[in-house]
Amino acid sequence: MAGLSPPGVLFAVLGLAAIFAPFMTLAANRIVAGEGRALWTLAAPQITGPGIALMLLGLALGLPAARPFLRIAGAALGLAGLVWLLVLGASSLLAEAGDYARVSPAAGFWFLLVVFALMMADALSALSPGPAARAGLLVLVIALVGALLWSGALSNLSIAQEFASRKNAFYTASLRHLGLAFGSLLAAAVIGLPLGVLSHRNAGLRRALLPVLSFLQTIPSLAMFGIMIPVLSWLSGVIPGARAIGIAGIGFAPAFLALTLYSLLPVVANVLAGLRTAPAATLEAARGMGMTWRQRLTRVELPLGLPVVLSGLRIVLVQNIGLAVIAGLIGGGGYGTFVFQGLNQTAGDLILLGALPTVALALVSAIAMDILVELTTPRTEREE
Amino acid sequence: MSRSGMIRAACVALLLALVLRPHWFTPVFAPFAPAGGPVIYERASILSLSLSHLGLVALASGLATLVAVGLAILVTRPAGAAFLPLSRTITNIGQTFPPVAVLALAVPALGFGAGPTLVALFLYGLLPIFETAIAGLSTLPPATMEAARGIGLTRWQRLIRVELPLALPVILTGIRLSVVIAIGTATVGSTVAARTLGEVIIAGLLTSNTAFVLQGGVIVGLFAVLVYDALSLLETALTRRLGRQSAGAEA
């Protein structure tokens, strides 16, 4: 059995088990709990057959250890089978049900999706693609998912109906979520970079600053958002004109401020760590060449420390995309609005409408930032 | 008593007072409460919320430690080496999942309450512990390992008597990180009706009562700081003991 990939065997076993789990649920309306339907009960065998065959073939192709390309092809076939079953299964289930019926993917679908996605990731990591190849793949996957959503093939699913009934709210929430996450990242970078550089040069400032920032980090995220509300409503009352530029106790401003404060520690700490990566000999050489400290900073220390600084920004971005969901609790908008509405109405698909884009955004940002970090890493280090 | 020891004792005393005698703090929080509104949270006892908060964190972190260390042992053995890239991928991806999203996604499957919170805290705790356990188990001094093999220890004995004790301080760093993250994240669990100190903060958010927000926030923050501190002390003590042992062995 030497030719078998051990993870491939694991995927095959898990995948086969998941095929027997309920693949979709059919509910009489939006709120009631649905009944689970197994794969082969979704539609006529001539419709489900090809999909199941594709997935089995995919699991089988994942087995040979020495052929990562074959395993990638297997994962792609499996994902294709999964989408085939989801699209055709949804329309056939709806055809036999009432007007208000809702269909959603169930445990079996999600499980198989995870199995094939991990199979793809495992095979890809065996090839260890460079940053350009990874960026290309990321764009390809986004384009494929985008095309699938755009085509309307999934419009029978319950989550798509939740989307259709609040399209405009969804676009507003998306903009707001992106604004919160990227805006606070930008603000943290603008404040944190100079703070990091200054405290790199000044040990006294460093000793005073780091405990304060660590303290900010220990405040639970919920409380941080809550504390910002009175602080900002006080500010908007005291500072003339503050209200006119959108500083108010609830909404965007407190969420933005809370996220920015949270981001300062990782930014400053990583700037400090990054500036320390320049070897002493290199700095000595720079000093010997007669560079001023500003030249040493911009031409030696910052370029050498850039990957570390960027990985700090990666931590902040992923963290803020997740924390921005909490803004939904204090009227700050974003995808959290749907998550908390869904929790209140116990409407699972509305929760999904908020949670899935958040997860996707976090994943894409993490992968994109990893690629950036690798691109900025000096070539000699990468080859080691 | 040293200065850090005094600060520590003061923090413990403050925390105990906040948890056991919340009413003592009425004058402190009163300026932040809305006019005529309640100052101190009374719908549940702070003590029982704290215990249930810490219980959730302890259970989730305990499970995460068992699974993460177990996985790390597995993938650092020759038989499990093929799973190393896969387990890295899984824990990395797991970490990018936003905690609130995990909580919300777990609700349809597990219902409201402690279940989804446990799942989210568990998933979130895995990565730091797994990463440090791998680092600890794969960077053991080769001479020590050679000596262990030389005196005829079996694989199992080497793992239990040499590798795990040597890796323990490093693994503890991961556990400390993971527990502190869990203490903060558990507050979010109250959005899905888990009984944690987040309940106090959320009650404050919903009734725009900053006194509640501060009360809950200060208690959770103090718990996080003190647990972090206690685990750091444990780590230092262990490292020192290990250092003395290996120094003694060399002498």
Q: Structure tokens of A250?
A: 């609830």
Q: Is B189 on the interface with A (CB under 8 A)?
A: no
Instruction: Say if residues A253 and A180 touch (Cβ distance below 8 Å).
Output: no
Q: What is the pLDDT of residues B146-158, one digit of tens each?
A: 888 888 888 888 8
Of B83, B213, B228, which is closest to A223 when you measure between CB atoms? B213
Residues of A in contact with B220 (CB under 8 A): 220, 223
Partner-chain residue, chosen from B82, B210, B216, that has the shortest CB–CB distance to A6: B82
Which whole number is the average pLDDT over A375-383? 65
What confidence tier does A185 reach under pLDDT thresholds 50, 70, 90? very high
B245 lies within 8 A of chain A by CB: no
Query: Inter-chain contact A326–B188, Cβ cutoff 8 Å?
Result: yes
Continuous H helices in chain B: 3-20, 26-29, 46-76, 84-96, 99-110, 114-138, 142-150, 155-157, 164-186, 198-206, 210-250
Percentage of chain B beyond pLDDT 90 is: 6
CA distance B56 to chain A (A): 16
CB contact under 8 A, A359 and B97: yes
Give the position of tokens 């004058």: B27
Q: What CATH number is given to the structural domain containing B71?
A: 1.10.3720.10
User: Which of B15, B56, B87, B96 would best serve as a mutation to test chain A binding (most A beta carbons within 10 A)?
Assistant: B96
Which residues from chain B sit within 8 angstroms of residue A339, using beta carbons? Answer: 100-101, 104
Q: Which domain holds residue B206?
A: 46-250
Please, which pLDDT band fits residue B250 given cuts at 50, 70 and 90? very low
Q: Does B125 touch chain A (CB under 8 A)?
A: no
Buried b (16+ CB within 10 A) or exposed e, A229-263: bbebbebbeeeeeeeeeebbbbbbbbbbbbbbbbb
In a domain, B7, yes or no: no
Average pLDDT in chain A: 83
Q: Is the pLDDT of residue B41 over 70?
A: yes
Nearest chain B residue to A225 by CA: give it: B205
Of the candidate ranges A1-10, A223-232, B188-197, the one whose mean pLDDT is the lowest: A1-10
CA distance B62 to B207: 35
Query: Between chains, do B184 and A221 touch, taking CB under 8 Å as contact?
Result: yes
| Separation in Å, CA of A5 to nearest CA in chain B | 8
pLDDT value, residue A240: 66
Does some domain include residue B149? Answer: yes
Q: How far is A218 from chain B (nearest CA, A)?
A: 5
pLDDT at position A250 is 66
Average pLDDT value for residue range B157-178: 84
Closest-CA residue to B39 (of B50, B27, B49): B27
Q: Answer whether residue B62 shows pLDDT above 90.
A: yes
- Check: CB of residue B215 under 8 Å from CB of residue B18: yes
B97 touches chain A (CB under 8 A): yes
Residue B46 has pLDDT above 50, yes or no: yes
Q: Higher pLDDT residue, B251 or A29?
A: A29
Verify whether the Cβ–Cβ distance B191 to A329 is below 8 Å.
yes
Which tokens in the block code for residue B104? 């919300």
Q: Please give the pLDDT value at position A379.
A: 65
**pLDDT tens readout for residues B26-40:** 777 777 777 777 777
Give me the residue from B82, B97, B225 closest to A5, CB to CB.
B82
pLDDT in tens, A43-102: 777 778 888 888 888 888 878 777 788 888 888 888 888 888 888 888 887 777 777 778
Could you give the CA distance from residue A16 to residue A96 in angstroms, rounded to a whole number? 28
Q: Compute the count of residue pairs across chains A and B with CB atoms less than 8 Å apart.
A: 138
Chain B positions in Cβ-Cβ contact with residue A114 (cut-off 8 Å): none
Average pLDDT, chain B: 82
* B18 is a domain residue: no
Is residue B31 situated within a structural domain?
Answer: no
Residues of A with CB below 8 A from B188's CB? Answer: 221-222, 326
A6, closest residue in chain B (CA to CA): B82
Select from B69, B84, B233 the least CA-distant residue to B165: B69
Share of chain A above pLDDT 70, in %: 94
The angle that helices B114-138 and B164-186 make with each other, rounded to 10 degrees, is 150
Q: Across the interface, do A118 and B213 touch by the CB < 8 Å criterion?
A: no
Instruction: Name which residue leads in pLDDT, A188 or A154.
Output: A188
Cα radius of gyration rounded to whole Å, chain B: 22
Distance of residue A70 Cα from the nearest chain B Cα, in angstroms: 17
Reply yes or no on whether the pLDDT at A282 is more than 80: yes
Measured in angstroms, the CA of A364 and the nearest CA of chain B are apart by 10
Contact B101 A358 (CB under 8 A): yes
Q: How far is B41 from chain A (nearest CA, A)?
A: 15
Adjacent-strand bridge partners of A64: A4
Indicate which of B213, B214, B228 best probes the interface with A, i.e. most A CBs within 10 Å of its own CB.
Answer: B213
Asked if B205 is an interface residue toward chain A (Cβ–Cβ < 8 A), one would say yes
d(CA A14, CA A25): 21
| pLDDT score for A331 | 78
**Which chain A positions have a beta carbon within 8 Å of B93's beta carbon?**
121, 363
Residues 6+ apart with CB under 8 A from A369: A310, A311, A313, A314, A317, A318
pLDDT at B65: 92
> Cβ of B96 and A325 within 8 Å?
no
Q: Tell me if chain A has a CB within 8 Å of the CB of B60.
A: no
The neighbour count for residue A166, using CB atoms within 10 Å, is 16
Look at residue B95 and tell me if it is in a domain.
yes
Q: What is the pLDDT of residues A127-149, one digit of tens each?
A: 888 888 888 888 998 999 888 88
> Among positive and negative, which fits the CA dihedral A6, A9, A15, A20?
negative
Question: Is B94 touching A (CB cutoff 8 A)?
Answer: no
In chain A, the domains with their CATH numbers are 6-128 (no CATH), 167-383 (1.10.3720.10)
Mutate to test the interface with B, among A109, A212, A222, A325 (most CBs of B within 10 A): A222
Beta-carbon separation of B210 and A226 below 8 A: yes
Say how far apart CA B66 and CA B69 lie, in whole Å: 5
Of B108, B188, B190, nearest to A351 by CB-CB distance is B108
B8 or A32: which leads in pLDDT = B8
Q: HEC string of A286-319? A: HHHCCCCHHHHHHHHHHHHHHHHHHHHHHHHHHH
The pLDDT tens digits of the residues spanning B178-214 come to 888 888 888 888 878 788 888 888 888 877 788 888 8
Higher-scoring residue by pLDDT: A95, A318: A318
The full 3-state SS of B57-85, as one line of letters, equals HHHHHHHHHHHHHHHHHHHHCHHHHHHHH
Answer whether residue B148 is part of any domain.
yes
Per-residue confidence band for A10, with pLDDT thresholds at 50, 70 and 90:
confident
pLDDT band at A288 (very low <50, low <70, confident <90, very high): confident
Residue B3 lies in a domain: no
Q: Would the pLDDT of A298 be above 90?
A: no
Determine whether the interchain pair B187/A221 forms a contact, defined as Cβ–Cβ distance below 8 Å: yes
Answer whether residue B11 is part of any domain.
no
Please say if the pLDDT value at position B247 is more than 60: no
Tokens of B222: 């103090």
CB pair distance less than 8 Å for B105 and A226: no
- B59 inside 8 A of chain A by CB: no
Q: For A234-265, what is each residue's pLDDT tens digit? A: 777 777 666 666 555 667 888 888 889 888 88
> How many domains in chain B?
1
